[in-house]
Structure 1
Amino acid sequence: MSFRLCLAILPLAAAAAAMGTAHAQTESKPSALVAQRIGRPQLALAPDPAPFLSELPDRASFDRMARVYDPGTPEAQPHVLFVIDRQAAQGKVYFVNTRRHALHEDFLKARHLVTSWEPGVRTRLYQQPQRRFILGMVSWQPQLKGFVFEFWEGDRQTPELLRTAQAVLARDMSFAPLRFKANAAQHEQVAQEAGIEAVTQAQLIAGRSALAYNPGRAFGRLRLVEDIEQVDDLAPEDIVVLREAPLALPPVAGVILASPSTALSHVNLLAKGWGIPNLYLKDAWQQLQGLDGQTVWLDVRRGSQRIEARAEAPAGWRPVSRQAKARLLSAPDLRRQQPLPLAQMRLKDMSACGGKAARLGELQWLQSQGRLPATAPVPDGFCIPYGAFAAFMAQPEVKARVAQALSEGGFEGSPGQRRAVLSRLREDLLAMPLPAGLEAQWEQQWERQLARAGVFVRSSSNSEDLANFSGAGLYSTVPNVRTELARAVKTVWASAWNAEAFEARRQAGLRHEQVQMAVLVQKAVDSRMSGVMITRDPFDATRSGVVYVSAKRGIGIKVVEGKRIAEQALFEERSGAIERLSSSAESTELRLDESGGLKEVAVASAAVLQDAQVLALSRLALAIRRELGGVEQDIEWAIDGEGRLVMLQARPFVQRSAY
């Protein structure tokens, strides 16, 4: 009889558990339209139900009117729509039979309170301060174990409307206390002005014991790893449990984090690209110690997770294939060796300078054509093309050293041996001479174009930022270089042989000899705020017109490394609403050091972005997606000391299905 451990984990979100795909990191009520579209089961209608009630004196009355998501489970979330008519005496309230009328629109039309539902009507009903109706819902919040009243995130509330709703609901729903739940940043602000305590999204998220950063299923050996840098025998079939998110990770079958991270950390982007589950589980170390070294089945879903020891995977399950198509590595243009300024680059130059540099050049050109706002520039820089890297690698002593490393005994069979060999190879490559004339070209370009300002030296290879291979965090960046540019360039070149990069390419079926490394030399920005955003909801693939923004103070390395939770927000284009998901947990920030490199200083304030900045970032992200062919984008940004927004990177957002 095999030992089985099943973990019953608290719901990630009531709405997410109910809908299966809706708002996985928020507690927002899923749209009834979405519920109808995906066909979630609802409770059967009671015989001849009343269309509405004027009061809810007890729980039984509420339940008769309520529509329920995920009935019969711990995540069951009944809710009742309400309509308050401010023109009626004492503010008449309709508690809508939400089983019959799933939307306010349905009820208002049925009662002839509204005769049409044109776009202007929605604005008058939800966004004008002097409106006749207050439209919201009362719902049971499983995580709070209590009732809340809430509004659609696009509803522009005022202190007067909020106070009226609270008073009327307290009067006519007397059987239980009601708390206000804010579904948008604007709701939080209005509640503060009205003197009403609000339950926020950030509070609900912080109280959860689990977060599904990437749902999926995996079968493999569970490994509790204290320090990923000290482990050299991780296998692609391992499910790794980590104290916190590392900056890079070799290919594995699944990831469980004992500390909350950020949805756009490098590790999670790798998980999405590989199609593997990635989960935050509070107290994971204590809960899973008994399974260390055993084969387990991991099933991560939007509302629940299962981790159980078993000798074999469930019947019919097949691991996600990571074999990449041969077309991923297109033939590089090795004819160019001289530096190429970003201002002269377009997407066509991807063949010589890689996707990262070429896209930035394209963004600069789009700005010059007025197709992107000039208020969000790309920091100037230049590309050192593939041809320079190829010339370096073609030197006989370099070729011989690489061949020796790849043919060492035990290299193919042991990940630990590969890591040690590749580490020595990188050190040796740094000591190799450059082909004649290259360093002088770089120094001249640095002086002429950037006046030798501090620069970030970044990879722009042909094996990253691809349509179906992210490569996030696999290659090295050298920050704020003020001297020894050549050594920084060679450091980036040598990172083609980073162990994590080698293993990721190996699993993806990419041939190492085809890898070419261009280098982006870009003027350093002493960022006051920085982060990453994507043009979709990373927790709900069905939700369109949404931008996710992740931010921290200082330079953005802390955002992408994901070791601490970032400030997170969602912007919904249709409603214009901003949902605050979390505050930054960082106590320090990274800044440029005057002598080169970075320095760490204390954070003056945990709050990072104002709503206006989230709005500006989101609109910029949507414009970039539009101009880059409608492909979902993963964008790095920063705000400098003058409050100016700058674009640092745009690449395709890669997510493979884990089911």
Structure 2
Amino acid sequence: MALPGRPVRAPRADALPGWVFRLGSRAEFDQMARVYDAGTPLALPHLIFAIDRGQADKVYFIHSRRFQFHEQFLKARDHVSEFARASLNDNYRSPQRRYLFGTLAWRAQAKAWAYEFWEGDQLTPELLALANKRLGEQFFAPLVFKPNSAAQEAVGQGLKLALLTQAEVISQQGFLPLNLGQAVGRLRVLAPGQPLDDLEPDDIALLQEVPLSLPPVAGVLTTRPSTTLSHVNLLAKGWGIPNAYVREVADWLALDGQWVQLSVQRTGVTLRPSTAEARTAVRRPGAPKVWPQPDLKRTALLPLGEMRAVDRQRCGSKAANLGELTHAYKRGALRGVAPVPDGFCIPFADFAAFMAQPEAQQALRAAQAEPGFAQSRQVRARALAQLREALVALPLPDGLAARWQATWQRQLAGDGVFVRSSSNSEDLPGFSGAGLYTTVPNVKQADALPLAVKTVWASVFNAEAWEARRWHGVPHDKVVMGVLVQRAIDARASGVMLTVNPFDPAQSGVSYVSAKRGLGIRVVEGKRQAEQVLYVKRSNAIQVLSRSDDPVALLLDAQGGVREQAVEPGRAVLSDDLVRQLARTGEQVRSLLGHGPQDIEWATDAEGRIVLLQARPFVQGSLK
């Protein structure tokens, strides 16, 4: 017994037994446990365990500050120096294995003791039932099972075990770091629907809804969960600024308008008062290193199936990349997918001819001559909105509309089309341009095509596009817009995939997939939570990070445009087979297009086939 007033000293790690067969209290657990991220909201006290089926299912709770791995424990217990690797690996895959190896932890935010296994462990119902029974008999408190893959979750559900899923862990922690880093800036608290036009590069935006886009700022906080592939987060990655979802921000609202320091780390998000003097020098990312010089001489419309990488000089990287993938499919180098939806590209030359009209030049000069245009984002936003209206109202040069409509009928049989941007200032290494320009969905009437093309052209002057180019030092007068007219796909599910782990880019062999039912517009908007999963190639395991919370799906409307259809929130969008097919497809796309990790938009058609809709380099700027 400790004397009154004397501190109780914890036993030295090497003075404790290497393992015990029963844990009777939290104190006994703490003596043997390691703690990851101690002192942070993600502190995780845990120890490893083994169940030996060759010794009447004996449970070993292992001193995890002495033995970091199960293999180390076995060597010490059996007094051997080496085990056959294949034999050890069988204990994660074989139903006839001798050992069950796992981890047991206190999950403070869930207020639960949870046991778990490596994500690649091919647990059978019999093995999981055995682990649940024996651990429950030898541990002092009730336990829940934390599955680390979709397959494990299905086994646990089949046994009707109490589960703690990874999606629940993420939702309970109350924050999600989307882009790590630090920044000093002026905090700006914006209510839903409040214009973003007056945000400045040294502002830290605290947003109560996820916007479709955002001008360059010093940092971003949102109070609604989003996905790592929302347009706003892709922009944050490209700018190299911190970005996080934080549920509870009441204590920060009083700092509105003040200088603050924001820190987004894997283990938490902090915001505290600072001063303008503490601000680090504002760093501009610089213009993209690869900048296609536009070819404005050739005016022929380009069928997607005939386009190659070199055609980015005539039609932009978006269309050229899809042309490369179409060519790869035709020659058998892209397998396991449907053909890229057919289409054609209206080249840069048509945009240049339209903008060369005296009326277009006059409207552009008038916008830039607006008093305060060079100094104020708000003035620029108003002037650019008026410019877009003027451009859309202008007539087209003679013959353009008829040429487009004839090609639409001849090549695509007049089917509904998406009219999409493909400028020389998007989908580039170092500058993704995600969400900056406009797409007009499901155009079905011939007379609507010219209006849709002019709308995409005018989006060169979207306020967010102007600000992003200004921040990167991209000359506005060098920007030209190609337009991809592409057959619409009535998608059953759609989403985005990365060929890298966005939470840990250094980890190899990991793919990230986000998805929703119907068309994928809302996946990249980020306004509602998408289903998100990670696929680990080494273990062939899938981990569910979140289920979709969107109560509606967007579908093609028979009259043109899109319509909403009610769906059941939370229902799984992605099957395990589809995730693995997508990961294999992503590897092929990365190999075909190069430029490092790829950001890929995909859909599934009525037959369940994967359809590729876009592929571009995944841009992640250097963080402050």
Same fold per superposition (TM over 0.5): yes
Shift of 1:553: 1.0
Residue in structure 2 matched with residue 170 of structure 1 by the alignment: 136
1:127 to 2:73 alignment:
no
Equivalent-residue separation in structure 2 for 1:531 and 1:183 (angstroms): 22
Check if 1:568 corresponds to 2:549: no
Q: Does 1:106 align with 2:68?
A: no
1:528 equivalent to 2:492? Answer yes
Equivalent in the alignment of 2:4: none
Q: Residue 518 of structure 2 contacts residue 555 of structure 2 at CA under 8 Å; is this kept in 1?
A: yes
Corresponding position of 2:243: 278
Provide the residue aligned with 1:80 in structure 2.
47
1:291 maps onto 2:244 in alignment: no
The residue correspondences of 1:602-613 to structure 2 (distance < 5 A) are 602-604=566-568, 606-607=570-571, 608-613=573-578
Partner of 1:15: none
SS class of match (1:47) = helix
Q: Give 1:257 shift.
A: 1.0
Are residues 1:195 and 2:160 paired? Answer: yes
CA change 1:122–1:355 in 2 (3 A) is farther
Q: Confirm whether residue 625 of structure 1 aligns to residue 587 of structure 2.
A: no
Amino acid at match of 1:184: S
1:8 aligned residue: none
Decide which of 101, 109, 114 is 1:148's aligned counterpart: 114
Q: Residues 271 and 73 from structure 1, CA distance in 2 versus in 1: closer, same or farther, beyond 3 angstroms?
A: closer
2:478 matches 1:514: yes
- Of the three residues 207, 211, 217, the one matched with 1:246 is 211
| Residue 18 of structure 1: aligned partner | none
Q: 2: CA distance between counterparts of 1:491 and 1:122?
A: 61
Residues 536 and 544, structure 1, Cα contact 8 Å, conserved in 2: yes
Q: Does 1:160 align with 2:122?
A: no
Matching of residue 489 in structure 1 with residue 456 in structure 2: no
- Paired residue for 2:510? 546
Code of the aligned partner of 1:84: I
Q: Which residue of 1 aligns with 2:565?
A: 601
Q: Deviations over 1:96-133 (max 9, x none)?
A: 22223212233334445895454x44542211222111
Find the counterpart in structure 1 of residue 5 from structure 2. Answer: none
Quote the Cα distance in structure 2 between the aligned partners of 1:234 and 1:631: 32
Equivalent residues of 1:108, 1:114 under 8 A apart = no
Is 364-373 or 645-654 further displaced after alignment?
364-373
Q: Describe the superposition over 1:534-555 as per-residue Cα deviations: whole angstroms up to 9, x where unpaired.
A: 1112122232211111111111
Task: Supply the distance in 1 between the matched residues of 2:114 and 2:336 (Cα, whole angstroms).
Answer: 44
Query: In the alignment, is the contact (CA less than 8 A) between 1:532 and 1:550 conserved in 2?
Result: yes
Describe the shift of the 1:298–1:594 C-alpha distance in structure 2 as closer, same or farther (beyond 3 A): same
User: Structure 2 vs 1, CA of residues 374 and 177 (structure 1 numbering), >3 Å: closer, same or farther?
Assistant: closer
Structure 1 residue 140: Cα displacement? 1.8
Could you tell me how far apart the structure 1 residues matched to 2:119 and 2:441 are?
40
8 A Cα contact 2:185 2:276, kept in partner: no
Residue correspondences, number: 611
Indicate how the Cα distance of structure 1 residues 268 and 44 shifts in structure 2: closer, same or farther if over 3 A, else same. farther
SS at match of 1:207: helix
The 2-side partners of 1:505 and 1:243 are apart by 26
The structural deviation recorded for 1:475 is 0.3
The 2-side partners of 1:238 and 1:354 are apart by 32
Listed as ranges, the gaps of 5+ residues in structure 2 are: 1-9
User: Which stretch has the larger CA shift, 135-144 or 147-156?
Assistant: 135-144
Shift of 1:495: 0.3
1:390 to 348, 352, 356: 352
Counterpart pick for 1:420 among 382, 390, 396: 382
Q: What residue in structure 2 maps to residue 454 of structure 1?
A: 416
- Report the Cα offset of residue 395 of structure 1: 2.3
> 5+ unaligned residues in a row in structure 1: which ranges?
1-42
CA deviation after TM superposition for structure 1 residue 79, in Å:
1.7
Cα shift at 1:190: 0.4
Matches within 5 A, 1:22-41: none
Structure 1 contact 297–313 (Cα < 8 Å) conserved: no
Amino acid at match of 2:593: L
1:147 CA displacement? 1.9
Query: How far did residue 228 of structure 1 move?
Result: 5.3
The match for 1:50 is 17
CA contact (8 A) 2:44 2:105 kept: yes
Aligned to 2:6: none
Deviation, 1:614, is 1.6
Tell me, yes or no, if structure 1 residue 586 matches structure 2 residue 550: yes
Alignment partners' CA distance in 2, 1:612 and 1:320? 46
C-alpha change, 1:448 and 1:123, in structure 2 (3 Å) is farther
Provide the aligned C-alpha RMSD in A: 2.0
Secondary structure class of the residue paired with 2:524? helix
Identity of aligned residues (%): 52
TM-score by length of 1: 0.89
Q: Equivalents in 2 of 1:146, 1:601: separation in Å?
A: 38
CA distance 1:116–1:351, shift in 2 (3 Å):
farther
**Contact 1:367–1:374, Cα closer than 8 Å, also in 2:** no
Q: Counterparts of 2:38 and 2:169 in 1: how far apart (Å)?
A: 21
Query: Residue 337 of structure 2 contacts residue 585 of structure 2 at CA under 8 Å; is this kept in 1?
Result: no
Residues 37 and 267 in structure 2, CA contact (< 8 A), matched pair in contact too = no
Q: How much has 1:383 moved relative to structure 2?
A: 1.0
Corresponding residue for 1:35? none
Alignment of 1:169-318 (within 5 A): 169-173=135-139, 175-227=140-192, 230-284=195-249, 286-312=250-276, 314=278, 318=280
Q: Please give the per-residue CA displacement for 1:285-309, whole angstroms capped at 9, x wherever unaligned.
A: x333311222211111111222122
Q: In 2 relative to 1, CA 627–330 (structure 1 residues): closer, same or farther, beyond 3 Å?
A: closer
What's the secondary structure of 1:469's corresponding residue?
coil
| Counterparts in 2 of 1:228 and 1:277: CA distance versus 1, 3 Å | farther
Give me the whole-angstrom Cα distance separating, in 2, the residues matched to 1:179 and 1:193.
14
- Aligned equivalents of 1:44, 1:459: Cα separation in 2: 66
- TM-score, normalised with respect to structure 2: 0.94
Equivalent residue for 2:342, pick from 363, 380, 403: 380
Q: Which amino acid aligns with 1:475?
A: Y
1:636 maps to: 601
SS in 1 for 2:554: strand
One-letter identity of the residue aligned with 1:289: L
Quickly say closer, same or farther: Cα 1:204–1:75, change in 2 above 3 A.
closer
What secondary structure sits across from 2:486 in the alignment? strand
